[in-house]
Chains A and B, each alone.
Chain A
Amino acid sequence: MKLTLKYIAVILIGGITLSSCSKHPDSPGYEYMPDMYRSQAIEAYVDYGMVGDEERDETSSRLKNTQSARTPAEGSISFNSNRAQAEMMMPFKYGKDDLDSASANFKIPSSFLEDIDGNVKEGKRLYEIMCMHCHGKTGQGDGGVVVVGEYNPPSPYNGAYKERSLGGIFHVITYGKGAMGPHASQLNKLERWKVAMYVRTLQHGDFNLGGLTGKVEADSTVLPSEGPAVDAG
């Protein structure tokens, strides 16, 4: 009788131990040779999520201090072997409230007007990724977010802001305006100019090449004239 109880106890404990081995619902599954699965070098998104379950519960302060979760130093620009392009990526000299002066004084670098067709085409592609869901396919302010989500509808491009200059459009993309958020983190400066060029075609309907080059006063120097004294190295 004593023996039977012992057996039962052993089986019960064994069963509980075995059943406690069930997979964590967030575990991605089995790994073959984990040392080659996890990067020893710093990788984006690797400091958490891919590491063991025990690190999921760490406090946020620890996560903040991991290398991959840090933001680059302010004013960092990405490496570009093309000097002219690298200079175009320099920090934007106009502040959030300088929309009027940016509209009046901030000029598109003339290099963008050398291939208007190509840049407008690329601008259209970027517009469809970044802007279309609110501003609508033709810039009428009837995108899906506005229609489905009852978001404040943006003004139509050919309405009150039809005469906004390329520099002004660039400023609005960089800092946002009204209900629109800043898109500087999603579009770099080269892309913002291209989107601005496409927005201009939507403002004025048909994109008139001669008309645009006539209307737009381009900045012949690619250097930002009043930019902060940053050594491009």
Chain B
Amino acid sequence: MENKMKFHWTNRLRVATFITVLTFLAAIPVKAQDGKSLFKANCASCHKALKNSTGPMLQGAKARWTDAGEADNIYKWVKDPVGLANSGTSPYAVQISEYSPTAMTAQGHLTNEEIDAILDYADNVKPVAKTAVASSDVDGKDGQEEGGALLWIILLIVVFSVVIFAARGVRKQLAYVVAEKEGEEIELNKSIKEKLGEWIVRNWKFTTIAFVLLAVTGGADLMKRGFQVGVYADYKPSQPINYSHKLHAGEMGIDCKYCHNSAEKSKHAGIPTVNVCMNCHENVVESDYRLGSTENIAKIHAAAGYDSETRKYTGNTSPIVWNKAHNLPDHVFFSHSQHVNTKTGNIDCKQCHGNVPTYGLGRVSTTEEINQLAGTDGIIPLTKPLLTMGWCLECHNEKAVDLTKSDYYKELHGRLKSRPDFLRKISEDDKITVRELGGWECAKCHY
């Protein structure tokens, strides 16, 4: 009773004010800034304000319905698109149903005011001016020209030879003149071979030095080339599409294995098939990331046989011929799945490929680049050039094997336990390396 008594008239007044304020607030129409959040929550997964995507662009949608003479039907459309199209009362609804084979998801929970707020927001969105960057992922390797130095050397040799021979010609003529004056007989009928022999003998100092120099530089060059056989470090072939790992894997954070998705299951990490590109690029048809991005996307569409205007597949496909950057000779067996799969090697991609999310086009990293990452994600620093046998062996000597995950290693562990002396010997350093399980046997990789 006392409690009831306490409900004083002032309290009643407060409650009344509160309720009045509440009803008043509810009566205020939805404001424009709510349009943005409503748009994001309900429409953005299919619609963009300024561009056609899964659904048509929302800017001007209201005007389009009004132009069609069905200004009121837009609310019915949003709340029940299929119903409106099938009702036979709205020709424009039937017309825009053809935009996509999939029907729009009905948004029955939206009120007319909310729909207005969304459309007002869409009508007032302004395009963000973006300036394309000429090339934002140059990683210092693009401008390099191999063989340029060689060309210069040859050019210099040619120039010098011309100068030397021209000078010689002048001297010879002078000699003729002198000889003629003194009445000596000039031997003009010597063969080139004889003349060359005489010239060499006469200039023996020069020829000896030249010969030694040629032999030394030639030998050194041959040796240098010899050491490059089968070494692909820093190899960066051109590609038909100027794909940027930096944008996709770096800035957007797409995992390596999203595109190279056979890495865990197959010998090959896999060059993504065009349908994987199209998972996103069916929708992303233009880009201002850098100059030429839209043209590059158009190349994917050409390969997939996709018309970005009508958003339909034409069936005219053509393969994209990528150039392989990481080449291993056929006489060595390498399997990605064995190294990458979480049950076996569980090695991070960066251990062998470097920090690709900072590169533009794919290329073979150098050992130095990978060593900079050492310590993160279990990356072991190595010394030999990439993709050489020494490099493989170095890692096999260091890398510890997890014997607990795959059935193969569990079986191996069981067998090792039956040889306690050997097990004790190999686990002295608290790890069992690949080498200790036969990773240095020739036939492990060469068969």
Residues of A within 8 A of B (CB): 1, 3-4, 7-8, 11-12, 15, 18-19, 22-23, 25-26, 28-32, 36-40, 43-45, 48-50, 56, 60, 63-64, 69, 97, 125, 128-130, 132-133, 141, 143-145, 148-149, 151-155, 159-160, 176-183, 185-187
Contact = CB atoms under 8 A, between A and B. Distances in A.
Interface stretch (B21-29, B157-165, B371-379): B157-165
A125 to B, nearest CB: 7
Contact of B275 (A7, A40, A153, A182): A182
Interface residues of B, number: 69
A153 B146 contact: no
A26 to B, nearest CB: 4
Given A180-B279, A181-B278, 8 more contacts: A19-B154, A22-B147, A25-B238, A31-B329, A32-B229, A128-B255, A144-B254, A182-B279
A144 B229 CA distance: 41
A82 B121 CA distance: 56
A179 B253 contact: no
A145 B228 contact: no
Given A29-B231, A49-B323, A133-B255, A1 B173 contact: yes
A81 B444 CA distance: 24
B172 to A, nearest CB: 8
Contacts of B318: 60, 64
12 contacts: A4-B166, A26-B237, A49-B323, A49-B324, A56-B321, A63-B319, A130-B261, A133-B253, A149-B284, A153-B44, A181-B275, A186-B276
A25 B251 CA distance: 29
Contact of A152 (B45, B151, B192): B45
Interface in B231-255: 231-232, 235, 237-238, 251-255
B230 interface: yes
A44 B254 CA distance: 24
Contacts of B47: 152
Interface in B207-227: 225
Nearest to A147: B252
Given A36-B331, A159-B41, A7 B258 contact: no
B342 interface: yes
Given A153-B44, A153-B45, A179-B53, A11 B321 contact: no
B399 to A, nearest CB: 21
Contacts of A63: 319, 321
Interface string B99-129: 0001001000000000000000000000000
B271 interface: yes
Contacts of B173: 1
B150 A186 contact: no
A198 B276 CA distance: 22
Given A48-B321, A128-B255, A141-B45, A28 B327 contact: yes
B279 A37 contact: no
Which 6 pairs of residues, A with B, have the shortest CB-CB distance?
Answer: A181-B279, A144-B253, A22-B147, A49-B324, A4-B169, A144-B252
B254 A178 contact: no
B276 A185 contact: yes
Contacts of B327: 28, 50
A12 B155 CA distance: 9
Contacts of B192: 3
A18 B254 CA distance: 46
Nearest to B259: A186
Nearest to B326: A28
Nearest to A133: B254
A19 B153 CA distance: 10
